[in-house]
Amino acid sequence: MNRKKLIELRGITKSFDGEVVLDNISLDIYEDEFITLLGPSGCGKTTTLRIIGGFETPDSGDVIFDGARINDTPPYKRHINTVFQRYALFPHLNVYENIAFGLRVARIRDEEEISRRVREMLEMVNLKGFERRHVTTLSGGQQQRVAIARALINKPRVLLLDEPLGALDLKLRKDMQNELKSMQKRTGITFIYVTHDQEEALSMSDTVVVMNNGSIMQIGTPTDIYNEPKNAYVADFIGESNIVDGVMIDDYSVKMSGHTFVCVDAGFGKNTPVDVVVRPEDVDVVAPESGMLRGKVTSVTFKGVHYEVIVDIGGFKWMIQTTDYVAPDAEIGVDIEPDAIHIMNKSEYSGMFGDYSSFSDELDALSENTEEEED
């Protein structure tokens, strides 16, 4: 694919009050790309976006747009528009005038053209007939649409979206995800999307940038990120994973939990300690005596499509997702296919994630809620 680089971040560092918020970030963004910055709250996603938009200047490093350095270009001169985290619609204007704002600022005097383009935008975001409504009378989802229409009317090269769906309920969020994705395809505008929701990131993006604590952990396609996480942090953040201590005996052979597995990874050397990632849906439940590993079920939760089973295998708690019911306290065997095993080098995140011994649904639900309440 012949892709043209549109934005380059080169070694961006930014501190607030002596606290490093972005630490030497480098990132290439291409034309017509849907790229997502994914990471927990406070990891620096918004700050990265604001640097691209021109609302913050980096302490060091360069922002390159279309080949030119734009570190000192003010926001109003950049061909970039933003959908702000809480919409930031103008309360003194109605829907029509909010959307027309960019055109009026650009000194377009032809009312017919303004009207035509505003209507075009309203149609795109499914808000026909809302022209005269006051923005404070709209629901969250409708305000969201106005914000998108307002940002797209000037036909920017890049659209920045900062957790645009964070305030919407689940159903609406799913619909908007599809709409945004198809909007991006239709318009060919580069979307830089910020979210802390990994599912959203995986389902919408061409490229996912996983961030943690002001650094980029991994850049890749959603499949790459999911199937080949670079370290335990990424593996854990992108969906549920069992991350087990292992030893790479030789190429295509890894030992964990006392059993030597065949795998598809090579090039780690002999007898190298590694982290092994196995996704819960890739573990097969078999009879105790015929399994590669054997363990005792400690909890079973019905999840609709599947059961979520926690199994104690030699003291390490695995999470398994299976469509067959298993009884709590039962002895079961498990099998793992070679291509379900992913090997990662040891990192500073080793041992911090991927064990479900302290796992509880309530805890998980709680932490998810608090995350969503934050901006």
Ligand X SMILES: Nc1ncnc2c1ncn2[C@@H]1O[C@H](COP(=O)(O)OP(=O)(O)O)[C@@H](O)[C@H]1O
Is residue 90 involved in binding other proteins (CB under 8 A)?
A: yes
Burial class (CB in 10 A: 0-12, 13-18, 19+), 373: exposed
**Interstrand relation of 253-256 and 259-262 (parallel, antiparallel or unpaired):** antiparallel
Closest to ligand X by CB, 225 vs 340, is: 225
Choose the contact partner of 309 out of Mg ion, ligand X, other proteins, none; CB within 5 to 8 A by kind. Answer: none
Q: Are 323 and 307 in contact (CB under 8 A)?
A: yes
**Number of residues near other proteins (by CB under 8 A):** 29
**Tokens in use for 33?**
């790309």
Instruction: Give the span between the Cα atoms of 273 and 86, in whole angstroms.
Output: 46
User: Which of 12, 21, 46, 197 touches Mg ion (CB under 5 A)?
Assistant: 46
Scanning residues 37 to 66, which ones bind other proteins (CB under 8 A)? 53-55
Instruction: Give the span between the Cα atoms of 341 and 259, in whole angstroms.
Output: 13
Is residue 91 involved in binding other proteins (CB under 8 A)?
A: yes
Choose the contact partner of 42 out of ligand X, Mg ion, other proteins, none; CB within 5 to 8 A by kind. Answer: ligand X
Q: Give the shortest CB-168-to-Mg ion separation in angstroms.
A: 16
Instruction: Give the span between the Cα atoms of 302 and 159, in whole angstroms.
Output: 40
Is residue 205 involved in binding other proteins (CB under 8 A)?
A: no
Q: Are 83 and 161 in contact (CB under 8 A)?
A: yes
Q: Give the shortest CB-221-to-Mg ion separation in angstroms.
A: 24
Q: Give the shortest CB-239-to-ligand X separation in angstroms.
A: 19
Per CB under 6 A, residues contacting ligand X are 16-17, 21, 39, 41-47
Is residue 155 involved in binding other proteins (CB under 8 A)?
A: no
Instruction: Give the span between the Cα atoms of 125 and 132, in whole angstroms.
Output: 16
User: Which of 26, 60, 126, 136 touches other proteins (CB under 8 A)?
Assistant: 136
Distance of CA 333 to CAs 19, 136, 197, 339, 355, Å? 49, 58, 33, 19, 18
Q: Which residue has the tokens 């061909």?
A: 79
Q: Give the shortest CB-163-to-other proteins separation in angstroms.
A: 14
Q: Which residues bind other proteins (CB under 8 A)?
A: 53-55, 74-76, 80-82, 84, 86, 88-92, 101-102, 104-106, 132-134, 136-137, 150-151, 154
